[in-house]
Amino acid sequence: MGDLIIKPASSGSLKIQDQAGTDFITTGTSSGLTIGSGVTNNAGVASGTIGSGVTFPAGLPYSIKVYEETTDSGNTTTTGIGFGTVRSVSLDSNENVLIRINGGYIYHNGGCRIYSGIQYDTSTLSSNTQGTIKYNRVDSENSTSGINYNIFGYYELLYTAGSNTTLYYRPAVGNNNGRTVNWVGSASESSIKITEIKFT
């Protein structure tokens, strides 16, 4: 059976309109196919890729990634601060990312204030003083009588890119008195969860 072809006259356009005369589907001589606003896709989209030029409504998350950390984020007995695995996220100008770090548990042996947080920079992280370090104070214990403490660790960072960039980040844990502190991630017990949410 041959093809059924419908085409406009030379230099014209083929249009499908509603009763009010609003164009819903238009094809011209060289402009390709244009689909108007208000078209309902009741059948659903079976396949395809959303193009880079598509603009999502402000505040709508469109990329969510979750990572697990199953190794300790640093023993900080001598350095005062320890770090987890470096990860990165690519951002366009004015694009936002919310990074949530929680889970596992922070182990310490008292005699200090305990902090859980994040280190981040737009260059690959290679030192413990690079970029910015932000944290929550999650515990404070004066006793050093041999008691070990296990507490919940968490931090949230909201970052907005001022230009097209790559943001590098990693979990950070520390204390103010050179004590033993670990943010513990364990495959057999409780891993540290890192959630990365991008939106405009």
Structure tokens at 21: 């005369």
Residue at 76 is within a domain = yes
Q: Which domain holds residue 146?
A: 61-199
Residues 6+ apart with CB under 8 A from 43: none
pTM for the model: 0.73
Residue 45 lies in a domain: no
pLDDT of residue 67: 94
Q: How many distinct structural domains can be found in the chain? A: 1
**43 domain-assigned:** no
What local confidence, expressed as pLDDT, does residue 143 receive? 84
Residue 129's alpha-carbon distances to 32, 81, 154, in angstroms, are 54, 10, 21
Contacts of 4 (CB under 8 A, 6+ apart): none
Q: Domain for residue 50, yes or no?
A: no
Q: What is the CATH number of the domain that holds 117?
A: 2.60.120.1340
Is residue 12, in this structure, part of any structural domain at all?
Answer: no
The answer to whether position 21 is within a domain reads no
Q: Is residue 97 part of a domain?
A: yes
Beta-bridged to residue 194, according to DSSP, are: 67, 101
Instruction: Give the pLDDT confidence score for residue 76 in this predicted structure.
Output: 66
Tell me, yes or no, whether 70 lies in a domain.
yes
Could you read off the pLDDT tens digit of each residue along the chain, which spans 200 residues?
677 777 777 777 888 888 888 877 787 766 666 666 665 665 566 666 777 677 778 888 999 999 998 888 776 665 678 899 999 999 999 999 999 999 988 888 888 899 999 999 999 999 888 999 999 999 998 888 777 888 898 999 999 999 999 999 999 998 888 888 889 888 777 889 999 999 98
pLDDT of residue 198: 96
What span, in angstroms and rounded, lies between the C-alpha atoms of 135 and 150? 18
Q: Across-strand partners of 133?
A: 119
Q: 66 by DSSP, 3-state: which?
A: strand
Facing residues of 89 across strands? 167
Q: In angstroms, rounded to a whole number, what is the distance separating the alpha carbons of residues 99 and 119? A: 11
Contact in structure between 183 and 116 (CB atoms under 8 Å)? yes
**Other CB atoms within 10 Å distance of the CB of residue 72:** 18
Per-residue pLDDT at 43? 57
